[in-house]
Amino acid sequence: MGLLRFSTAGSVDDGKSTLIGRLLYDSKSIFEDQLQAVEQASKQRGNEEVNLALLTDGLRAEREQGITIDVAYRYFATPKRKFIIADTPGHIQYTRNMVTGASTADLSIILVDARHGILEQTVRHSYISSLLGIPHIVVAINKMDLVDFSQEVYSKIVADYKQMAARLHIGQVEFIPISAKLGDNVVNPSSNMPWYQGQPLLGYLETVSISHKAGSQDFRFPVQYVIRPISSQFPDYRGYAGRVSGGTIHVGDRVRILPSGLESTVGGINQATDELAEASSPLSVSIRLKDDIDISRGDMLVRADEGQPQVGQDFTLDVCWFNENPLQLRNRYIIRTATAETVGVARAINYRTNVNTLEREIGVSQLDMNDIAEVVIHTSSPLVTDAYAHNRVTGSLIFVDEATNETVGAGMIK
């Protein structure tokens, strides 16, 4: 059974909570005590119908204010797949939460209200999904019951969306007409829309390809930790612990260690006591080499016979800013990749993207919370990276504020 991570973005009005509630309820993933608790809480709040949003809005402030503030994770499984939902608030002031939820998603569900068609927030969600390199997008055209299940309405929205999406780098898009409230095309096929030939949403989620998880074809292995027991049983053991973040490695393969550029041969791959002949993304393993080389956390192993990553100190990035303290040119930030850390300064802001219109705004001198922009940075020591479009693990980094230690921004290398 495979695992699919998907994100949903939207506000209460477009029926996102109803859709998630429907998926959980119809796949029998809501339990009696949860439903009871939600029924009771709805009644206390004077809601006439059971408010399924209360299932996902867990924090006291969220329940009191009736809004989703943070990313919430929900889990369900069918006999075919396990699913992890990153449920994120859709309003513009929560762009950073959308970015966070989208960072690990394999698929993004973008909800469109059939009565309103493509809106600013549709553009925003689509832009963030494409920026974060989500491989699959589902445009769920919801509330079809309120437009008489009209194929004409559906087709117009599909055409409008395709026109808008032409301006973005979007992978595969699937369009599904649904009614989350009545259940049409969510879990079960709709008898109200015989003109729709595709699968219902859940069927699509169960069968969409997840082969992209194997990552780029090139092997990438950021070293997290060096395992050296120095025990009587393992006197000379030295294993490099990490997670394969792209491609495949075999025992006997020639590897290059970056940034040093030294080479060696893989002597063994293991997962605890299991000796493996090969390992692929996203397995966590430890790798032994045939030569004694100085390797530490932050280094990266790659295959000598494959495409090589960049080793450099100057990067052009798409940045999403997360913090109330704005990004200022010439400010110092701690720059962190998966396992490496250095210090960097922002040298230029090339342009800021208006996430509602996709227009590029130039002449911007700082980035405020939720801004997305193309930024040039310079780091004090070299980092080993790929373009984000090529590898989401080795192409991403975060900005950390030196004074507060908070994560203040996220960057995707171009």
Partner 1 sequence: MDKFTITHLKELESESIYVLREVAAQFEHPAILFSGGKDSIVVTYLAYKAFYPLRLPFPLLHIDTGHNFQETLDYRDELVKKLDAQLIIGSVQQSIDEGRVKEETGFYASRNKLQTVTLLDAIERNKFDAAIGGARRDEEKARAKERFFSHRDEFGQWNPKNQRPELWNIFNGRKNMGEHFRIFPISNWTEMDVWQYILLEKIPMPSLYFSHQREVFERDGQWLAVSPFIKMKPTEHSVSKLARCRTIGDVTCTGLTLSKASTVEDIIDEIAASRVTERGGRADDKRSETAMEDRKKAGYF
Q: Name residues contacting partner 1, limited to 71-100 (CB under 8 A).
A: 71-75, 77, 81-82, 84, 96-97, 99-100
Pick between residue 151 and residue 224 the one whose CB is nearest to partner 1: 224
Contact call for residues 30 and 109 (beta carbons, < 8 A): no
Query: What end-to-end distance do the CA atoms of the chain give, in Å?
Result: 34
Query: Is residue 12 part of the contact set for partner 1 (CB under 8 A)?
Result: no
Instruction: Please report, as residue ranges, which positions from 106 to 125 form the binding site for partner 1 (by CB under 8 A).
Output: none
CA-based nearest residue to 29, from 84, 68, 69? 84
Q: State the number of CA atoms in the 13 A half-sphere of 166 facing the CB.
A: 6
Nearest approach, Cβ of residue 137 and partner 1 (Å): 19
- Residues 91, 250, 336, 378: which binds partner 1 (CB under 8 A)? 336
- Residues 194, 198, 229, 252: which binds partner 1 (CB under 8 A)? 229
Instruction: Please report, as residue ranges, which positions from 341 to 400 form the binding site for partner 1 (by CB under 8 A).
Output: 392-393, 396-398, 400
Q: Which stretch binds partner 1 (CB under 8 A): 120-128, 195-203, 223-231, 353-361?
A: 223-231
Residues 6+ apart with CB under 8 A from 396: 103, 337, 338, 388, 410, 411, 412, 413
Q: How many whole angstroms separate alpha carbon 259 and alpha carbon 413? A: 18
Nearest approach, Cβ of residue 48 and partner 1 (Å): 20
- Residues 43, 58, 167, 254: which binds partner 1 (CB under 8 A)? 58
- Residues 31, 155, 169, 172: which binds partner 1 (CB under 8 A)? 31
Query: Is residue 56 part of the contact set for partner 1 (CB under 8 A)?
Result: yes
H-helix or E-strand containing 130?
helix 120-131
Angstrom CA distances, 224 to 126, 221, 297, stand at 33, 9, 5
Query: Is residue 55 part of the contact set for partner 1 (CB under 8 A)?
Result: yes
Contact call for residues 256 and 302 (beta carbons, < 8 A): yes
Pick between residue 70 and residue 174 the one whose CB is nearest to partner 1: 70
CA-based nearest residue to 184, from 171, 169, 173, 194? 194
Q: Which stretch binds partner 1 (CB under 8 A): 143-151, 190-198, 336-344, 359-367?
A: 336-344
Residues 339, 405, 396, 331: what is their CA dihedral angle, to the nearest 10 degrees?
-120
- Residues 119, 163, 198, 234: which binds partner 1 (CB under 8 A)? 234
Nearest approach, Cβ of residue 92 and partner 1 (Å): 16
Query: Is residue 406 part of the contact set for partner 1 (CB under 8 A)?
Result: yes
H-helix or E-strand containing 250?
strand 248-250
Q: How many whole angstroms separate alpha carbon 275 and alpha carbon 281? A: 17
Q: Which stretch binds partner 1 (CB under 8 A): 179-187, 192-200, 229-237, 365-373?
A: 229-237
Instruction: Please report, as residue ranges, which positions from 243 to 272 form the binding site for partner 1 (by CB under 8 A).
Output: 243, 270-272
Instruction: Please report, as residue ranges, which positions from 293 to 322 form the binding site for partner 1 (by CB under 8 A).
Output: 297, 322
Pick between residue 41 and residue 329 the one whose CB is nearest to partner 1: 41
Q: How many whole angstroms separate alpha carbon 328 and alpha carbon 37? A: 47
Give residue for tokens 């005590």: 33
Contact call for residues 401 and 325 (beta carbons, < 8 A): yes
Q: Which stretch binds partner 1 (CB under 8 A): 109-117, 253-261, 325-333, 405-413?
A: 405-413
Pick between residue 194 and residue 267 the one whose CB is nearest to partner 1: 267
Q: How many whole angstroms separate alpha carbon 121 and alpha carbon 353? A: 14
Pick between residue 102 and residue 201 the one whose CB is nearest to partner 1: 102
Q: Which residues pair with 13 in a beta bridge?
A: none
3-state secondary structure of 5: strand
Nearest approach, Cβ of residue 30 and partner 1 (Å): 9
Query: Is residue 330 part of the contact set for partner 1 (CB under 8 A)?
Result: no
